[in-house]
A and B are shown apart, each in its own frame.
Chain A
Amino acid sequence: MQGELDGEFPELPIHLLGVNGAGHESGVPSMIDGRVIPLLQDTAEADAWSDWQVVYRDVIILDRDNVPVGVFNLTENDLSNMADYTALKTMLIDAASL
């Protein structure tokens, strides 16, 4: 999706990142395989997962002020489903278009 956004909307500064749960470092190779977006490794000290109060597989969309403007859960929504894929993409584009 990152490549698609960059290609279709080069004027919109949209960036996707992953945050791997603390203690799940062993899963990093499978998570980065074929992907170029940053994958950040959470730690017990930083505990970003708790700070952001996320649920597993949440995509938190931050606007230009770093304020959360949307949450899209990939367990509830399947990106292999075109409607769900488009919904997330639209959320990102809308946030960047404000």
Chain B
Amino acid sequence: MATSRALILLALVVGCSGDDNVASDSETSSADSEASSGTDVSTGTDGSTGTDGSTGTDGSTGTDGSTGTDASTSGSTDDPSAGSESSTAGSTGSTSTDATSTTDDGSSTGDVDGIAPDFGLLDVNDNSPSFEQEVSPRDYLEQVSGWYYAHAT
């Protein structure tokens, strides 16, 4: 009886240790599958370039799902340099693009930013009707004005 109990316990111990090995194997394989699926996801997300596939190699280096996320992140970082930045790169690049377009808008046609910067400068021409008065461009709203920037050389 004691011998059979010992055998059962031994079998259980052996069985458990065997399961551990199997579990680690399955984790490894699942990690591998995660890595590969991570690659797929990043490719799917980035969707645009084969370069992302090589970036997926970074994901397999991590072999973690979270690293897969990292891979897609680094993939999106790589995308702009790949040149074929479409949607993902566009969303990343949109910040700078927006900034640029804002600047462009401001300097070219901007509805609000296009207005000339304001100032208040003293008129120093004693022949002028506004001599010794502070003059601002806003004084000439509803009128056309020409501002000659010069100085005596």
Contacts and interface: CB of A to CB of B under 8 A. Distances in A.
Interface in B63-97: none
Interface of A: 12-21, 24-28, 30-32, 35-43, 46, 48-49, 51-52, 54-68, 74, 88, 92, 95-96
Chain B residues touching A, majority SS: loop
Interface size class for chain B? 20 to 34
Nearest to B134: A40
Given A18-B150, A56-B150, A62 B145 contact: yes
Nearest to B126: A32
B126 to A, nearest CB: 7
Contacts of A54: 149
A22 B131 CA distance: 18
B121 A41 contact: yes
B3 interface: no
B50 interface: no
Nearest to A70: B146
B138 A66 contact: yes
B128 A36 contact: yes
Contacts of A35: 125, 127
Nearest to B141: A66
B141 A40 contact: no
B43 to A, nearest CB: 45
B116 A68 contact: yes
23 contacts: A14-B143, A14-B144, A17-B147, A18-B125, A18-B150, A28-B124, A35-B127, A39-B123, A40-B121, A41-B122, A43-B121, A46-B120, A52-B117, A54-B149, A55-B149, A56-B150, A57-B148, A57-B149, A57-B150, A59-B148, A64-B144, A65-B115, A68-B116
Contact of A62 (B123, B140, B148): B140
B146 A15 contact: yes
Contacts of A48: 117, 119, 121, 149
Contact of B119 (A21, A36, A51, A58): A51
A20 B144 CA distance: 20
Contact of B143 (A31, A41, A58, A64): A64
Given A36-B128, A39-B125, A46-B119, A60 B114 contact: no
